[in-house]
């Protein structure tokens, strides 16, 4: 039956299936799907070749072969064959999902996202963030496993690359992928990553150690064989069946030891390692006792990872003994199952099972993952349902995004483009006018996702808005914005106070009193002149009070002699017909220019000496809030029979393209609305502008805004 089936497929494909059969006897039902994937990938990459000249499909095939060595399921192997299809062809995720499955499409997309991540730093913190980010991008642990297989094949064929690329890829492999494979317990992958990285990052050193080992290879091989035989004979006498493997430690490990201990190659004695695999934990300790009877152990080198397993699931007993000729030999003792897990780590638990997951806080959370896997061991029948429904989303609290230069920035979940701007630098945040996420212009309140590349657009003319505090998520952004407002309001109060002080004294023909009065600021209770100006600007003290109390000249200063001066009360419209004030007639009414209230807004009145009542929107930040001033607030309402028009101020942020201003103007005019003024400023790809339109009421304004938003390229529009 199998031989007939084999004749349907290519020799290469049959070799792949044979490897899967070694660990998955149920693969027969999956062969049509794997074959479909195989052909789809081969056709998709038909005209693509590697630098070596071989068809690109060979890389995909070898990736799948590596996945079979990790005993991976059909879904993962299919994803391995397709892992570059989204990046290198015109096929979409939607097509992959419809042709194969949503899960395969998700894994392929995850691998593609990881491929877009470029590592360019040797800093430990940065490297750790990248490892976290790889996991955050992967919603399914199999994404990481496919990426490991992809990277391993690339490392095995790295000789064809130019030196600069060899070094960049090897650095990334050493600092990102090898430690991550270690954390996931995939020691076989980790070791090869380290060995190949060492080969390309330190070629001279690698060659030096390789030559030294080659010189002694015959002697070392003979030594290992004799040591193995000695152990085998002892175990046979005790009726213990065991598989024994002898090896020389890899060059990367030897190099690390030489650097750490600052010794020469000839002084490294424990480059030899023996691994003994038995069928039970009991026999592990029995073997340990036999070896210690034959060879003297080095006490400080003994470690029991069976009694206390590592957080990534690794279990084994390690001991170093003094062998023949006084040479140190490391002996690892474990069960066959422990060895399988040690070789393939997390991958061992996904053996032809469906799974979903990613891992955060790597050391701690893998223990949690293993506990979940233990559920499968106790209830094997639940494995399919469990693995299909389980979502291990452990990166909820963090996202990882890139600057245009490729630097990585960690932000909390739901962080916005503005949070990113402040994370880059305070001044970048304060002057932020817009942003590009993955080359697309977006608003500042756009929430970011892991893997996003963010570019901040700035302008010297922009000022922070109180509205920013409503959507930023990071404490850094909130504190910097609040600090700016505190300083800015202080500076504004000082400037206003100075203007009020000097202007009123000049009106009274008392300009000569300016310097003498300022010199007495400490006597007045203010440490600096700026604090005195601030108090005047805030209305805490009046110029009349200063003259009454601190001016030596005997001159009565009448209240009428000093007219109130307040930049927030500039007359916008002088009429009382627009609002009704209960119990008050024939009063002068001003509409505050700071908030430009229009019919439909919730409003409040503020009694201003000499200027009647100033009408503010009830949410205006300039409404006085001090206890002594609150009594001057009164209730006001819009007149039901208003026949006036009003100014409405709009702020617009849009893309810089030909015809944009014309499009905005046409929309406003088509709504039979007049434009009082328009002022647009270009900042690179962004245009920011202020438009004042003449409207009847709030509803009129909202309709204009709604229609302007429909224009292609409008990023944000709001009423000031």
Q: 109, 45, 105, 41: which is closest to 75 by C-alpha?
A: 105
How confident is the model at residue 586, as a pLDDT? Answer: 54
- Boundary residue ending a domain (502, 528, 561): 561
Which pLDDT band holds residue 335 (cuts at 50, 70, 90)?
Answer: very high
354 in any annotated domain: no
How confident is the model at residue 120, as a pLDDT? Answer: 61
CATH number of the domain encompassing residue 432: 3.10.20.30
How confident is the model at residue 138, as a pLDDT? Answer: 57
352 in any annotated domain: no
How confident is the model at residue 45, as a pLDDT? Answer: 93
How confident is the model at residue 365, as a pLDDT? Answer: 38
**What phi, psi does 576 have (nearest 5°)?**
-105, 0
Least confident of 463-467, 562-566, 614-618, 660-664: 562-566
How confident is the model at residue 679, as a pLDDT? Answer: 81
Q: What is the chain's percent helix, strand, coil content, to nearest 5?
A: 50, 15, 30
Which pLDDT band holds residue 2 (cuts at 50, 70, 90)?
Answer: very low
* Shared-domain flag, residues 137 and 159: yes
Domain count, the chain: 6
CATH number of the domain encompassing residue 330: 3.30.460.10
pLDDT reading at 559 higher than 70: no
* Shared-domain flag, residues 508 and 466: no
Q: What is the pLDDT of residues 29-72, one digit of tens each?
A: 999 999 999 999 999 999 899 888 899 999 999 999 999 998 88
Q: 86, 34, 41: which is closest to 60 by C-alpha?
A: 41
Which pLDDT band holds residue 78 (cuts at 50, 70, 90)?
Answer: very high
pLDDT reading at 570 higher than 50: no
Measured CA to CA, the distance from residue 143 to residue 133 in angstroms comes to: 13
pLDDT reading at 215 higher than 70: yes
Between residues 269 and 487, which one has the greater pLDDT?
A: 487
**What phi, psi does 361 have (nearest 5°)?**
50, 65
* Shared-domain flag, residues 545 and 461: no
Helix or strand run (H / E) with residue 277: strand 272-278
Measured CA to CA, the distance from residue 365 to residue 354 in angstroms comes to: 20
Instruction: Yes or no: say if 131 and 180 are a contact pair by the CB < 8 Å rule.
Output: yes
Q: What is the pLDDT of residues 216-271, one digit of tens each?
A: 778 888 888 899 899 999 999 989 999 998 877 788 888 887 777 676 665 555 67
Instruction: Yes or no: say if 319 and 292 are a contact pair by the CB < 8 Å rule.
Output: yes
How confident is the model at residue 100, as a pLDDT? Answer: 95
355 in any annotated domain: no
* Shared-domain flag, residues 28 and 153: yes
pLDDT reading at 557 higher than 50: no
Which pLDDT band holds residue 373 (cuts at 50, 70, 90)?
Answer: very low
Least confident of 87-96, 157-166, 337-346, 463-472: 337-346
State the average pLDDT over residues 308-315: 72
Per-residue DSSP letters for 337-405? HHHHHHHHGGGGGGBT-------SSHHHHHHHHHHHHHHHHH-GGGHHHHHHH------TTEEEEE-TT
Please calculate the CA angle 48-51-57 and round it to the nearest 5 degrees: 40
Render the burial of 479-489: b for 16+ CB within 10 Å, e for the rest: ebbeebbeeee
550 in any annotated domain: yes
How confident is the model at residue 309, as a pLDDT? Answer: 73
Least confident of 365-369, 435-439, 586-590, 664-668: 365-369
Tokens representing 60 are 């995909």
Between residues 371 and 671, which one has the greater pLDDT?
A: 671
Residue 23, burial from CB neighbour count under 10 angstroms (0-12, 13-18, 19+) = middle
Which pLDDT band holds residue 560 (cuts at 50, 70, 90)?
Answer: very low
* Shared-domain flag, residues 663 and 603: no
Helix or strand run (H / E) with residue 19: helix 11-21
* Shared-domain flag, residues 620 and 491: no
Which among 362-371, 600-609, 667-676, 682-691 has the top mean pLDDT?
Answer: 667-676
Measured CA to CA, the distance from residue 486 to residue 663 in angstroms comes to: 39
**What phi, psi does 547 have (nearest 5°)?**
-70, -40
**What phi, psi does 633 have (nearest 5°)?**
-90, 135
* Shared-domain flag, residues 594 and 671: no
The rounded mean pLDDT for the chain is 78
Distances (CA, A) of 474 to 419, 436, 470, 609: 6, 19, 11, 43
* Shared-domain flag, residues 448 and 529: no
**Four-CA torsion 177, 183, 188, 192, nearest 10 degrees:** 30
Render the burial of 555-567: b for 16+ CB within 10 Å, e for the rest: eebeeeebeebee
Residues with a catalytic annotation lie at 87-88
Instruction: Yes or no: say if 70 and 63 are a contact pair by the CB < 8 Å rule.
Output: no
State the average pLDDT over residues 87-109: 92
- Boundary residue ending a domain (473, 491, 519): 473
How confident is the model at residue 587, as a pLDDT? Answer: 63
- Boundary residue ending a domain (431, 446, 473): 473
How confident is the model at residue 426, as a pLDDT? Answer: 87
**What phi, psi does 565 have (nearest 5°)?**
-130, 115
pLDDT reading at 151 higher than 60: yes
204 in any annotated domain: no
State the average pLDDT over residues 664-685: 84
> In terms of residue numbers, what domain contains 337?
210-346
Which pLDDT band holds residue 314 (cuts at 50, 70, 90)?
Answer: confident
Instruction: Yes or no: say if 131 and 176 are a contact pair by the CB < 8 Å rule.
Output: yes
Tell me how crowded residue 393 is: count the other CB atoms within 10 A of its CB.
12
How confident is the model at residue 368, as a pLDDT? Answer: 39
Percent of the chain with pLDDT over 90: 24
Number of H helices, E strands in the chain: 30, 21
How confident is the model at residue 39, as a pLDDT? Answer: 95
Instruction: Yes or no: say if 293 and 283 are a contact pair by the CB < 8 Å rule.
Output: no
Measured CA to CA, the distance from residue 51 to residue 348 in angstroms comes to: 34
373 in any annotated domain: no
pLDDT reading at 381 higher than 70: no
How confident is the model at residue 181, as a pLDDT? Answer: 81
Helix or strand run (H / E) with residue 220: helix 217-237
SS3 183: helix
* Shared-domain flag, residues 536 and 572: no
370 in any annotated domain: no
200 in any annotated domain: no
CATH number of the domain encompassing residue 157: 1.10.3210.10
* Shared-domain flag, residues 161 and 35: yes
Residues 6+ apart with CB under 8 A from 115: 84, 87, 147
pLDDT reading at 396 higher than 80: no
* Shared-domain flag, residues 95 and 170: yes
> How much is the pTM?
0.52
* Shared-domain flag, residues 90 and 218: no
Q: In what order do the strands lie in the sheet with 714-719?
A: 674-683, 686-695, 646-655, 714-719
Q: What is the DSSP letter of 177?
A: I
Instruction: Yes or no: say if 466 and 622 are a contact pair by the CB < 8 Å rule.
Output: no
Largest CA distance in the chain: 121
How confident is the model at residue 283, as a pLDDT? Answer: 92
């Amino acid at each position: 039956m199998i031989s007939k089936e084999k004749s349907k497929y290519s020799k290469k494909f049959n070799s792949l299936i044979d490897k899967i059969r070694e660990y998955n006897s149920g693969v027969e039902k999956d062969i049509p799907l794997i074959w479909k994937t195989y052909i789809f990938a081969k056709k998709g990459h038909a005209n693509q070749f590697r630098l070596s000249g071989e068809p690109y499909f060979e890389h995909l095939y070898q990736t799948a072969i590596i996945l079979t060595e990790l005993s991976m399921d059909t879904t993962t192997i299919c994803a391995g064959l397709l892992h570059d299809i989204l990046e290198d062809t015109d096929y979409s995720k939607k097509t992959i999902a419809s042709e194969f499955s949503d899960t395969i499409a998700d894994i392929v997309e995850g691998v593609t996202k990881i491929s877009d991540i470029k590592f360019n730093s040797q800093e430990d913190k940065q490297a750790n963030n990248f490892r976290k980010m790889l996991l955050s991008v992967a919603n399914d642990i199999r994404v990481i496993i496919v990426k490991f297989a992809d990277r391993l094949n690339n490392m095995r064929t790295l000789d064809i690359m130019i030196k600069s690329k060899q070094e960049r890829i090897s650095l990334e492999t050493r600092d990102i992928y090898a430690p991550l494979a270690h954390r996931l317990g995939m020691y076989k992958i980790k070791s090869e990553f380290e060995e190949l990285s060492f080969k390309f990052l330190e070629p001279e050193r690698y060659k030096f150690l390789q030559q030294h080992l080659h010189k002694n290879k015959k002697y070392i091989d003979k030594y290992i064989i004799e040591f193995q035989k000695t152990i085998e004979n002892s175990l046979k006498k005790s009726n213990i069946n065991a598989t024994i493997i002898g090896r020389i430690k890899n060059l990367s490990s030897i190099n690390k030891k030489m650097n750490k201990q600052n010794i020469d190659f000839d002084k490294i004695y424990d480059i030899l390692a023996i691994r003994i695999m038995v069928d039970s934990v009991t026999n592990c300790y029995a073997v340990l006792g036999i070896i210690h009877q034959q060879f003297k152990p080095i006490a400080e080198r003994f470690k029991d990872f069976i009694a206390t397993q590592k957080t990534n699931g690794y279990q084994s007993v390690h001991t170093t003994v003094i062998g023949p000729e006084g040479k140190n030999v490391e002996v690892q003792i474990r069960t066959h199952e422990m060895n399988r897990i040690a070789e393939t780590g997390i991958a061992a638990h996904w053996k032809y099972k469906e799974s979903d997951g990613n891992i955060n806080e790597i050391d701690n959370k893998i223990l949690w993952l293993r506990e979940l896997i233990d559920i499968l061991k106790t209830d094997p029948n639940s494995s399919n349902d469990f693995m299909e429904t389980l979502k291990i989303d452990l990166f909820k609290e963090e996202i990882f995004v890139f600057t245009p230069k490729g630097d990585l920035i960690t932000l909390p979940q739901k962080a916005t483009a503005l949070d990113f701007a402040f994370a880059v630098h305070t001044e970048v945040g304060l002057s932020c006018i817009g942003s590009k996420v993955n080359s697309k212009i977006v608003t500042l309140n756009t929430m970011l996702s892991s893997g996003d590349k963010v570019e901040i657009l700035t302008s010297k003319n922009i000022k922070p808005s109180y509205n920013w505090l409503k959507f930023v998520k990071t404490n850094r952004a909130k504190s910097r914005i609040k600090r700016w407002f505190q300083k800015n309001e202080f500076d504004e109060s000082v400037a206003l106070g100075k203007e009020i002080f000097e202007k009123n004294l000049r009106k009274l023909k008392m300009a000569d009193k300016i310097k003498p009065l300022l010199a007495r600021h400490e006597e007045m209770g203010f440490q600096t002149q700026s604090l005195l100006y601030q108090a005047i600007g805030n209305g805490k003290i009046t110029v009349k009070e200063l003259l009454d109390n601190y001016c030596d000249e005997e001159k009565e200063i009448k209240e009428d002699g000093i007219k109130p001066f307040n930049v927030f009360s500039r007359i916008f419209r002088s009429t009382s017909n627009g609002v009704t004030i209960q119990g008050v007639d024939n009063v002068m009414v001003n509409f505050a220019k700071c908030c430009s209230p229009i019919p439909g807004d919730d409003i409040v009145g503020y009694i201003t000496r000499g200027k009647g009542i100033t009408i503010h929107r009830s949410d205006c930040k300039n409404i006085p809030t001090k206890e002594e001033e609150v009594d001057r607030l009164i209730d006001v309402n819009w007149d039901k029979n208003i026949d006036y028009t009003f100014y409405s101020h709009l702020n617009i942020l849009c893309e810089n393209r030909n015809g944009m201003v014309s499009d905005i103007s046409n929309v406003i005019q088509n709504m039979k609305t007049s434009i009082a003024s328009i002022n647009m400023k270009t900042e690179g790809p962004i245009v920011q502008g202020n438009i004042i339109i003449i409207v009847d009421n709030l509803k009129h304004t909202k309709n204009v805004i709604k229609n302007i938003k429909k224009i292609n390229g409008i990023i944000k529009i709001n009423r000031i």
